[in-house]
Amino acid sequence: MFRAASRRTSAQAAKLLQPQPKSIARSIYSNSTTRPTLKPRVNNANLLGSPCISGTRHLTYTQKIGRKYREASRGIWRKNPILMPLAIFSVVGGAFIFAYISYVEVTRVAPQYHKFPAPVADSLRTAVYYTEIDLNPAKAMKAYKEALRTAFEMGVHPYSDEILGIKLQVAMMLEKAGLVKPAIEVLERTKNETLAWIDEVTAGNAAAAAEKVKQAQAQAAPTNVVVDTEAVKQTEEDLKAMAEYENRQRDKALKKVVGIAMKLGELYASEHIQEDKKAEAAQVAAVEICLKEMHRRQRLGLPVGSSGSGEESNGEAWLNLTEIATALAELAATYTAKERYELAMPLYLRALDLIRAAEGTSITCKQVVLLNDVATALVGQVQRPAKSQPQQPVTQEQTVQAAQKWAEKAIEVASHIKPPIRDEECDITCVVATYNLGELAELQKKPEVAKKRYTEAKALADGISYEEGSLMAKEALNRLGKR
């Protein structure tokens, strides 16, 4: 019995040790995939402790868009590692360029047209495009004419800053295109028409003043006529405002005429024309207009020159003292170049007086330049042959001493001017003044002093890289060495 039980136990143990057959589902799963997938273990305790959760999670529209955007962005960067940064850089650069263009339009371009009516401004934009961007005289002239015609139709004053500015722009366009003679014709016609209108306004003001005197005398006589004082007062205010407006327009137009005359002098003296007589005549006309207006203002008790370069808050629109001095100095420089020093000297001195009055205690390099210009004119006057010199009330030695004092004064004034007011103009003037002192020492038969001055001038010129001054001083030293 025990043997039978032992055999049964051995048989069951052998049966358990035999390999168990795999299930059909397991075999199919194993054969259908080349690589088994590891399944995470499930914590039954957590499942039992957690509430029942649905297997599907619904996303919002924003979350879906964000997920798609992230997936697309990852794909773009992976597929376009070079083009994508370039595209971003192009977009950012285009935004900056657009912002800069808008800034320039608002701060620089738009203020140039804000005084014009919109239709006139549109024509001017076209004209400026064919002047500055794509130079085309025919199309630009057509646009300028259209702007003038529209402005006249809209009642813009025919001699206002706006209309005269358009005409000056036309002359500038023609000069830029190389059409100097047509530019001169435009400027000459504009100057003559404006001067004629200014004369009419001036004569009209005198007639209006005489008429007011007659009206005052008539009102002083006894009369029984009932007068509406309010209407008369309103009419007088309107006439007064109109007269003030015309006077401002007259001053601004006359200022433009002076500038036109100086520009004509520049164009006549250019390489394209080379008519020195007409250039001088234009500069003389500019100076005569300035002096005539200065005398008129002095007679009427008005300021000789305005306090600024443009129309001030008090309605002053005439040239300031510095601008008047510039016109005088340019004509004097023309006379100096032609060795007509007797005509240049009074102009230089008058310009110096105006500059001193304008600057007061705030001295600039303009005074230094004019001081040296006076010395240069005196030096040239001394160096001219005796036969060509007009009869002078002073001797040559006195003229040399005067020139020396003017040159030394220029150097002294320049030494008191400090940066940033002191500029290259002061430095160059000091070189020329020192060179002039050397020439004056030569005229006085003082070679050692002349050599010292020329050496100083060369050192100053080398210090500021003024090649022309350095070359002149070197030639003067060589000339002294050969004696």
Reported as a single tens digit per residue, the pLDDT across 253-275 is 999 999 999 999 999 999 888 99
**pLDDT of 158-189, one tens digit each?**
888 889 999 999 999 999 999 999 999 999 99
Cβ proximity of 248 and 315 under 8 Å: yes
Alpha helices in 301-364 (DSSP H): 321-337, 341-359
Query: How many CB atoms within 10 Å of residue 297?
Result: 15
Comparison of pLDDT for 190 and 88, the residue scoring more: 190
pLDDT band at 155 (very low <50, low <70, confident <90, very high): confident
Residue 51 has pLDDT above 60, yes or no: no
pLDDT score recorded for residue 280: 94
pLDDT score recorded for residue 310: 47
pLDDT score recorded for residue 23: 46
Distances (CA, A) of 311 to 248, 296, 315, 317, 337: 9, 19, 6, 4, 35
Long-range contacts formed by 150-157: CB under 8 A, 24+ apart: 150/117, 150/119, 150/120, 150/123, 151/116, 151/117, 151/120, 154/117, 154/119, 154/120, 156/116, 156/117, 156/120, 157/249
pLDDT score recorded for residue 438: 93
Distance of alpha carbon 241 from alpha carbon 245, whole angstroms: 6
pLDDT score recorded for residue 349: 95
Residue 48 has pLDDT above 50, yes or no: no
Instruction: Please compute the mean of the pLDDT values over residues 466-480 and round it to a whole number.
Output: 91
Comparison of pLDDT for 226 and 396, the residue scoring more: 396
Contacts of 402 (CB under 8 A, 6+ apart): 378, 394
Cβ proximity of 460 and 428 under 8 Å: no
pLDDT score recorded for residue 105: 58
CA nearest 339: which of 387, 396, 381, 386? 381
pLDDT score recorded for residue 272: 87
Please name every residue paired with 172 in a beta bridge, in sequence order, or none if there are none. Answer: none
Comparison of pLDDT for 125 and 114, the residue scoring more: 125
**pLDDT of 10-47, one tens digit each?**
555 445 445 555 444 444 344 444 444 444 454 444 44
Residue 351 has pLDDT above 90, yes or no: yes
**pLDDT of 304-346, one tens digit each?**
877 554 444 344 578 889 999 999 999 999 999 998 998 999 9
User: Domain 340-483: which topology?
Assistant: 1.25.40
**pLDDT of 194-239, one tens digit each?**
999 998 887 776 565 556 545 555 554 444 544 456 665 667 677 6
Distance of alpha carbon 329 from alpha carbon 323, whole angstroms: 10
Side-chain-side CA neighbours of residue 285 (13 Å) = 22
Distance of alpha carbon 295 from alpha carbon 301, whole angstroms: 10
Distance of alpha carbon 308 from alpha carbon 157, whole angstroms: 24
**pLDDT of 366-388, one tens digit each?**
999 999 999 999 988 888 765 55
Cβ proximity of 311 and 301 under 8 Å: no
Q: Which of 191-205, 235-249, 348-362, 400-414 has the lowest mean pLDDT?
A: 235-249
pLDDT score recorded for residue 167: 94
Q: Which of 44-48, 64-68, 147-151, 261-265 has the lowest mean pLDDT?
A: 44-48
Mean pLDDT comparison of 76-90, 147-161, 226-240, highest-scoring range: 147-161
Secondary structure tally for the chain: helices H, strands E: 19, 0
Distance of alpha carbon 198 from alpha carbon 205, whole angstroms: 11
φ, ψ at 275 (rounded to 5°): -115, 90
Long-range contacts formed by 392-397: CB under 8 A, 24+ apart: 397/444
Q: Which of 98-107, 150-159, 407-416 has the lowest mean pLDDT?
A: 98-107
Tell me which amino acid residue 408 is.
Answer: E
Summary mean pLDDT of the chain: 79
Distance of alpha carbon 190 from alpha carbon 211, whole angstroms: 31
φ, ψ at 320 (rounded to 5°): -85, 175
Percentage of the chain surpassing pLDDT 90?
43
- Please name the residue that has the structure tokens 């600057």: 359
CA nearest 456: which of 439, 472, 468, 473? 473
CA nearest 159: which of 286, 242, 282, 252? 252
Comparison of pLDDT for 277 and 58, the residue scoring more: 277
Distances (CA, A) of 370 to 235, 341, 404: 51, 14, 14
pLDDT score recorded for residue 208: 59
**pLDDT of 236-256, one tens digit each?**
677 677 777 888 888 899 999
pLDDT score recorded for residue 85: 79
